[in-house]
Amino acid sequence: MTALLVRGGPRLKGRIEPSANKNAVLPVLCATLLSEAPITLRNVPEITDVQRIVTFFGELGSTVDWKPEDKLLHIDHSTIPVGAKATLPQAMRASIMMIPGLLARLGEARLEHEVKGCTLGAREIDPHVEVFRAFGAEVSHEGKNIVFRQNCKAEATRMWLEYASVTTTENFIISALTARGTSQIVNAACEPHVQELCSFLEKMGGKLMGKGTSMVGIEGTDRLTGVDYTFADDFHEIATFLALAAVTGGDIAVRNGRPDHFMLIDRTFEKFGAEVKHEDGWSRLVAPEKLVVKDNFTSHLTVKVEAAPWPYIPADLLPIFIALGVKAEGQVMFWNKVYEGGLTWHTELSLFGAHTLLCDPHRLITFGGDRLVPGTVTSPYIIRVAIALLMVAASIDGESTILDADPIRRAHPNFVPNIDALGVDVQWVD
């Protein structure tokens, strides 16, 4: 068990250069399998899932040169031998996004039944199976594995998703690039990391129509080129550092090349009395003297923060706003419309003295403004929850411990050194 020891209380101040978005890096890495040409990726974060994919590529026969200290990764899949077999790593949900590339390259991929990820609730693979079958793949159970086989050239198809799933959308787009003809996906996810995957594929020579919308067309091609690509800053991490400023009464500026993605995020900060300003490629939040929930014009209704697929507030950001909710004077309802297991951790907040009420698996009310006290809390295996607990601990005078905090490293390799540099004494302990 890895824990974080947090000595909170100081107002955090400084400037931060965020890392790349894990949710963009992983699908891009998976999509590199489509090309025979060398690929160079820059601003690659040193996180566990990247290491797992790099290891898998090496076992497959790819030539990989990763320089974590330089955030630089060179990949050449042309060295994969004919007849190579691939059983995908079970420890990460991103494994399922390597299936399109493996089907196009090897004609077969194997996936263990239980694919792990954050403990957010039921995360079925049926939508992915529907995508692969729509492009002509055969999917079957063989022992402990699910086996995917592509025995003929994939043909273009059109699919209307029941739900705007990010990974299902990404699997469809990657699969469509090697199909014969033009495919279309309706009710596509359009999160910034999905848009970034599309930008990467366009640089490789892919032709996509409707990027960033709910209806995307993809023209199949027989050749995708190499590319030199630099990942954008992670909007999750940018928002998180801004929230750290708000919750600790601090002043933090974060590099941000896409402030156009922040209009609704900015308005959500305003619900707690905090203002974000964007200028010259940086986003800055100077905390008010006190966080106070801004009343609705319709005064008898509780202020709400609703999380759903983009362009709503992302469910991944809901925990950081819950941290603001337990600090700010007033009541806020948080509505997670995506995951039924995304709010069960609220009981840990009571160990800090926070007052919360779980209405049902999807809705939580915070009653903020109470004096919080240091405590020892346990994080579920959810990245942003571990960060939210750390945020609350950082805002409290005294020493707190976050048990099972290791998920932070899955997405943010420099997060702890960064907040330490901003003024909070934080250290890993075993």
Q: What is the pLDDT of residues 340-367, one digit of tens each?
A: 889 999 999 999 999 999 999 999 999 9
Beta strands in 93-243 (DSSP E): 108-112, 138-142, 145-149, 158-160, 182-186, 207-209, 215-219, 227-230
372: left (phi over 0), alpha (psi -120 to 50) or beta: beta
What is the reported pLDDT for 226?
95
**Residue 64 — pLDDT band, cuts 50, 70, 90?**
very high
Give the Cα separation of 330 and 368 in Å (integer): 5
Whether 22-230 and 3-18+233-429 are alike in CATH topology: the answer is: yes
Residues 6+ apart with CB under 8 A from 192: 21, 24, 232, 235, 258, 261, 310
**Hey, what CATH topology would domain 3-18+233-429 get?**
UDP-n-acetylglucosamine1-carboxyvinyl-transferase; Chain (3.65.10)
pLDDT of 114 reads 58
Q: Which of 25, 202, 206, 30 is nearest to 102 (CA)?
A: 30
pLDDT at 118 over 50: no
Q: Tens of pLDDT along 76-111?
A: 999 999 888 878 877 677 889 999 999 999 999 988
Q: What is the pLDDT of residues 156-167, one digit of tens each?
A: 999 999 999 999
Q: Where are the domains of the chain?
A: 3-18+233-429, 22-230
Predicted local confidence at residue 113, as pLDDT? 67
Q: Which residues are catalytic?
A: 118
Q: Is the pLDDT of residue 121 over 50?
A: no
Rounded CA-CA distance 402/3 in Å is 5
* Closest to 33 measured CA to CA, from 55, 57, 52, 49: 57
**Cα–Cα distance, 171 to 194 (Å, whole number):** 11
What class has domain 22-230?
alpha beta
Range 10-38 average pLDDT: 96
424 within 8 A of 28, measured Cβ to Cβ? no
Mean pLDDT for 247-253 is 97
